[in-house]
Structure 1
Amino acid sequence: MQTLAEVLPYPPSLIIKKLNSLYFTRMDRREYNTQGTNVFAEDWDSLVVLDACRDDQFRAANTLSGDIETKISRGSNTSEFLKANCDGRDLSDTVYVTASPIYYYHRDDIDAEFHEVVNVWNEAGWHDDAKTVLPETTTRYALDAAQQYPNKRLLVHYIQPHYPFIESDTEFDKKHLHDDAENQKSFWHELNHGRLDISRRRLWDLFEENLERALPHVEELVGELDDRTVVTADHGNMFGERARPIPHSFYGHPPKLYTDSLVRVPWLVQQADERREIVSGESRANADADGIDDETVSDRLADLGYVEM
């Protein structure tokens, strides 16, 4: 008798993930999590975004002072978060300092007019050995932007705790770097298909170590910014929790699955005695993007594990 995997053209886990996503998106009638927070409608002068940082994981590792609550994200991965919050918006009062290439990669699908986009990941901000942007580098670029644009809102996007794991000698999170393009698979793909033997506890600890590596530099940034600063995340992560309504364990942050593990994010507010005077300005983001090489974008995305999930 044939197994289910032999009969179906796709692995059962992918079929279950698709069926669950149809549930959350009301049969693909919703482009994002409509129950989530519109971050640009919230009160802040600077918004610091940690990539793939769960609310519970942040609370366990947090060293920053401030009032903390939980918000619901509009997306379960970065591109969904950006499109849901930025698409169709005049953000000419905002400078986006980002260590992630995701916005640039999806720029044609996200109709947003930032005053400026500082692509830290492009050339000088990229660490060739770590295959990522180090958190201290993101902080340095963000502080430079705050000085250069004193009358703009500041959106700062750190890569961490998203892998690569900076201080670890792990190999499983770097295997895709050595595969040819046709066979590249992220370690989330390997985990979800039972091809990688690593415990949930070990994976959790690695993400926590990456978060702890970043937090002192986030704290430095928040301490230097004389404004109302919020620290949050674009989305969370699943570490083997069961999705719904069809119960099945998943790892990673697939799109269109709005489970608590993926959309519950921290929202830490640090108050300020004085507020920055925010004014709009002409958008210069597209002009700066013209000099970016597409091969560089592809390489950076691959280094960060954005290959087949």
Structure 2
Amino acid sequence: MVDVSGQAANVARNLRYRGLGAFSEFASLLRYSVQSTTTPDPVLDADWDVLVVLDACRADLFAEVARDGDYDFLPVDPATRTSPASSSVEWLETVFGGADDDELGGLAYVTGNPYSASKIDADRFHTVSEVWRYAWDDDLGTIPPRPVTDAAIETWRASDADRLVVHYMQPHFPSIPASADAADDGIELDRFGETSLSVWDDLRFGRRSEADAWRAYRSNLELVLDDLAVLFSNLEADTAVVTADHGNAFGEHDVYGHPGGVDLSCLREVPWAVVSPTDDHTYEPDTGDAEADDTDGENVVEERLEDLGYRT
């Protein structure tokens, strides 16, 4: 169910700039939450050894890049699935929170998403590697793909876990390739409240074009796919799948971003690309910082979520 109180606060905040558009978005959020009829596809029950989760990746964007880009490891026409969630919190709570101990006991989880600090019980997993704790880039306001790739390769090579889930933050904004040419889509803690909350407010208020935001979104997906080429050349597994926890709304039905509990296809339809990885040992991961700064306090967790445009 959509966060009614939080979205009502957004209406009040946006009313000055958007007028009736703020009410239209709120009405759509309620409508596509209350009237949800979509049946999600299984995640943990599906056939895979390695599951790569791209954060906030729309199925149509993924298909566009798979078709046009130079990614030989991806199918040209990737399949899609229906996610159980329209936000990361909802995905973690549904997929992992709803699993039994046997399912999680053989699962290694490598993640760049800071919500792991509060939304999963690490003791139920075979292994949890919270890469964001030591590899966050404060200048970028996010975690780049490579530390996640390094941790995933190292974990899978060294572990006796039955399965592996690798959760990248890309293509979730901020867009790393676009950051040099455009305003940062993330927010550092000391600037919170003094600048745009996120790319979604820029789109709502007409400060940025949809085409420009889409280009930045696409370039961020291409960035992480470049790293997946390294990952899948250095993992040995029968079956790997590339998917997403949820998508993004670019103004469909007046909705922007990825609010939880909303049943829109742009949010719930995600890629499902089957890959056959092989460990050619062409890359040795750098995990030198993994032991450093591994116990960040709750304030740092909140800062990093705010960097990604979340209010905590």
Q: TM tier, shorter chain?
A: 0.7 to 0.9
**Counterpart residue number, 1:253:** 258
**Counterpart residue number, 1:41:** 45
Q: Show structure 1 runs of 5+ residues with no match.
A: 1-7, 244-248, 274-289
Would the aligned equivalents of 1:87 and 1:112 in 2 still touch at CA under 8 Å? no
Would the aligned equivalents of 1:94 and 1:114 in 2 still touch at CA under 8 Å? yes
1:263 partner letter: R
Root-mean-square deviation over aligned CA pairs: 3.0
Would the aligned equivalents of 2:52 and 2:243 in 1 still touch at CA under 8 Å? yes
Task: Kindly indicate which of the two structures has a greater share of residues assigned to helix.
Answer: 2
**Counterpart residue number, 1:113:** 124
Aligned counterparts, 1:129-208, within 5 A: 129-168=139-178, 169-174=180-185, 176-177=187-188, 180-181=191-192, 186-188=197-199, 190-191=201-202, 193-194=204-205, 196-208=206-218
Q: Show structure 2 runs of 5+ residues with no match.
A: 1-10, 279-293
Query: 1:101-147: per-residue Cα shift (whole Å, max 9, x none)?
Result: 0121334xx79822221100002x22233222111111001001101
Would the aligned equivalents of 1:184 and 1:307 in 2 still touch at CA under 8 Å? no
State the SS of the aligned residue for 1:215. Answer: helix
The offset of 1:44, in angstroms, is 0.5
What TM-score results when the alignment is normalised by the length of structure 2? 0.77
Which of residues 97, 101, 124 in structure 1 aligns to 2:114?
101
State the SS of the aligned residue for 1:97. Answer: strand
Would the aligned equivalents of 2:55 and 2:171 in 1 still touch at CA under 8 Å? yes
Would the aligned equivalents of 2:92 and 2:119 in 1 still touch at CA under 8 Å? no
Query: 1:162-216: per-residue Cα shift (whole Å, max 9, x none)?
Result: 112212225543473376555675224523642x411111100001011111111
State the SS of the aligned residue for 1:224. Answer: coil
**Counterpart residue number, 1:304:** 308
**Counterpart residue number, 1:267:** 272
Would the aligned equivalents of 1:188 and 1:251 in 2 still touch at CA under 8 Å? no
Would the aligned equivalents of 2:250 and 2:257 in 1 still touch at CA under 8 Å? yes
Distance 2:155 2:114 in 1: 18
**Counterpart residue number, 2:286:** none
Identity of aligned residues (%): 32
Would the aligned equivalents of 1:163 and 1:173 in 2 still touch at CA under 8 Å? no
Distance 1:34 1:149 in 2: 37
2:302 partner letter: S
Task: Kindly indicate which of the two structures has a greater share of residues assigned to strand.
Answer: 1
* 2:244 matches 1:240: no
Aligned counterparts, 1:199-238, within 5 A: 199-227=209-237, 228-238=239-249
2:40 partner letter: G
What TM-score results when the alignment is normalised by the length of structure 1? 0.78
Aligned in 2, Cα 1:14/1:77: closer, same or farther, shift over 3 Å? Answer: farther
Aligned in 2, Cα 1:294/1:178: closer, same or farther, shift over 3 Å? Answer: closer
Distance 2:122 2:233 in 1: 32
Aligned in 2, Cα 1:295/1:253: closer, same or farther, shift over 3 Å? Answer: same
State the SS of the aligned residue for 2:177. Answer: coil
Distance 2:110 2:267 in 1: 23
* 2:105 matches 1:92: yes
1:231 partner letter: V
The offset of 1:150, in angstroms, is 3.5
The offset of 1:267, in angstroms, is 0.3
Aligned in 2, Cα 1:14/1:254: closer, same or farther, shift over 3 Å? Answer: farther
Distance 1:197 1:149 in 2: 48
State the SS of the aligned residue for 2:255. Answer: strand
Would the aligned equivalents of 2:203 and 2:209 in 1 still touch at CA under 8 Å? no
1:237 partner letter: N
